[in-house]
Amino acid sequence: MRIRRTVPLALIVAALAASPSMAGAKLAPPKPLAWTDMAGDANALNDQGGLAPAGPGDTAGPAQDAAADILGVTFARLDDGKTLLGLTVTMKLSGAPSQGHLYRVTGAAGACSTFWFQFNWTAGGNGSSTLRHNCVANADPTSVGGTTNQTIDGKVVGNSIVWTLLVKELPPGVKVGSPIAPALGETRAIIGVAGAPQSLTAPVIDQTATQSAAYKIGQ
Ligand SMILES: [Ca+2]
Ligand SMILES: [Ca+2]
């Protein structure tokens, strides 16, 4: 007597095909987004919206500020091997970051036309790391341009600034899978000291080329 197959073959095949991903539940290989900038051009004289906005592109010398000289910017996933935790943004410099500089990676994400990673290190003060965004309207009259400065982890690691944005810290409208369109990295001088009511962040000392690629949160 023949035994009848009670489960359609298509369902068995589908179950077998699905089992590896269900059992493993591993993250896909990470795909960082990185770009570079030439060394030795932190002189505020390039075409960087600084002293000479119509000037030539990246140009080395003559007055090079190693603490402001960007070598590269990298967006990378942060995970524990199994679970996505967030992302890091790293700005690598020629020299160790120092007081009197603003380090910034500009960009946009979701409905936020401003989605900037900032490390504001006023002379005489401690570095302040924020995600500056306009994902929600900021009614505070002292807010610059209606943006919010959300405190996030950011620290000096060797010659780099490393920001960490956790999934649980993502502002409204930005979630896992949302693309961040990083525009560029820049360094600025901060004219002013800690405790002053308002410091001027100018001029731009170094700047990277504007990027067209996006980084999807989780990639
Ligand atoms: Ca540079
Ligand atoms: Ca440059």
- Residue 205: predicted pLDDT: 93
Asked if 101 contacts 121 with a C-beta cutoff of 8 angstroms, the reply is: yes
Give the residue among 65, 97, 94 at the shortest CA–CA distance from 203.
Answer: 65
Task: Report the separation in Å between the CA atom of 173 and the middle of ligand 2, taken as the mean of its atom positions.
Answer: 32
Higher confidence at residue 17 or residue 179? Answer: 179
Task: Report the separation in Å between the CA atom of 65 and the middle of ligand 1, taken as the mean of its atom positions.
Answer: 9
**Neighbouring C-beta atoms of residue 87, cutoff 10 Å:** 26
Half-sphere CA count of 49, side-chain side, radius 13 A: 13
CA–CA separation, 76 and 98 (whole Å)? 24
Higher confidence at residue 146 or residue 87? Answer: 87
Three-class SS of residue 8?
Answer: coil
Asked if 163 contacts 152 with a C-beta cutoff of 8 angstroms, the reply is: yes
- Residue 54: predicted pLDDT: 63
**Neighbouring C-beta atoms of residue 175, cutoff 10 Å:** 13
DSSP 9: H
pTM of the model: 0.85
Q: What is the pLDDT of residues 184-207, one digit of tens each?
A: 999 999 988 777 766 788 889 999
Q: Is the pLDDT of residue 147 over 50?
A: yes
- Residue 55: predicted pLDDT: 67
Task: Report the separation in Å between the CA atom of 35 and the middle of ligand 2, taken as the mean of its atom positions.
Answer: 11
**Neighbouring C-beta atoms of residue 131, cutoff 10 Å:** 26
Task: Report the separation in Å between the CA atom of 211 and the middle of ligand 2, taken as the mean of its atom positions.
Answer: 13
